[in-house]
Amino acid sequence: MKLLFTPGADGIGTLVLANPPRNTFEQPRFAERAELERILGHAGQKALIVTGEGRHFSHGADPERLREQLRDPAFQREMDGGKELLALIAAAPVPTLALVRGGCLGAGLELALCCDFRFAATSALFGFPEVELGLIPGFGAPLFIDGVAARRTAIDLLLSGRMVGAEEAHALGIADTVSPAATLEQGARTFLNGLVGKRTVAQVRAVMESVRNARRLPLVEALRRETELFLQVARGE
């Protein structure tokens, strides 16, 4: 899938998933790792908006193509590679916000769940339709939904395959806000600017590294690293 990246003068960059009309993932390894790393770590960047080109966020994998790909014995490696890309987004050095219009399904929803925030347009539709095709979500959904929605919500969505609209997604904790499509992006920019506008790049990255460490490091190690980051920021290093 093509990734269109625009750095922001205010430090808020935009990454557009560009495979319209539905921004489907043609293969699990949907981007070059180095390209994605460059986008996430862009110099001076303090936050990143992720969105889809056109009416939809992303409908995830193309089921027809996926059936063919599944015949390939090496396909698991491809899926592992795709998951690594999502893990990179989940570990982004800056806060990430998925701006969701239209369909946000399957792998598309898994990607949105990797982000720190999800702002939904009233048109947004969330779900894991994989079970309807006799499959299960294969891109880390159970992991990425943890801490975003309650476990009962995760089980409900993963097993029923039902779609939820923006308002229900908000009630379930999946969408942080719901707004008309016309004001969605401005609302997200205002929100992110309120978080990072007055902070230095070093502050933002130190806070985000420490928040991410809370999940990936043993507690005592994460705590020690936090103090180191604090001292670096305080000393202006």
Question: Residues interacting with another protein, by CB under 8 A?
Answer: 95, 116-117, 147-148, 173, 176, 194-196, 198-200, 203-204, 206-208, 210-211, 213-215, 219-220, 222-224, 226-227, 229-231, 233-236
Q: Which residues of 54-79 are buried (b: 16+ CB within 10 A; e: fewer)?
A: bebbbbbbbeeebeebeeeeebeeeb
Least distance between another protein and beta carbon 62 (Å): 30
Residue closer to another protein (CB basis): 4 or 150: 150
* Cβ-based nearer residue to another protein, 155 or 231: 231
Residue 147, both tokens: 């801490």
Q: How far is the CB of 173 from another protein (least distance, A)?
A: 8
Nearest to another protein of 182, 219 (CB atom): 219
**Nearer Cβ to another protein, position 41 or 147?**
147
Give the helix/strand (H/E) hosting 119: strand 117-121
Closest separation in Å from C-beta 159 to another protein = 23
Q: Which is nearer to another protein, 120 or 204 (CB)?
A: 204
CB of 230 to another protein, least distance (A): 3
Long-range contacts from 3-6, C-beta under 8 angstroms, 24+ separation: 3/31, 3/35, 3/36, 3/39, 4/53, 5/39, 5/42
Nearer to another protein, 150 or 155 (CB): 150
Q: Return the closest-CA partner of residue 99 out of 196, 166, 185.
A: 185
Quote the CA–CA distance of 37 and 74 in Å, as a whole number: 25
Q: What angle do CA 22, 155, 59 make, to 5 degrees?
A: 5
Angstrom CA distances, 46 to 7, 57, 74, stand at: 10, 22, 38
Q: State which residue, 51 or 213, has the beta carbon closest to another protein.
A: 213
Instruction: List, in sequence order, the alpha helices (H) in 27-150.
Output: 33-40, 63-70, 75-90, 107-114, 141-145
d(CA 164, CA 184): 19
Are the C-beta atoms of residues 108 and 205 closer than 8 Å to each other?
no
Find the shortest distance in angstroms from Cβ 47 to another protein. 9
Q: How far is the CB of 182 from another protein (least distance, A)?
A: 24
Work out how close the CB of 117 gets to another protein at its nearest, in angstroms, rounded to a whole number. 5
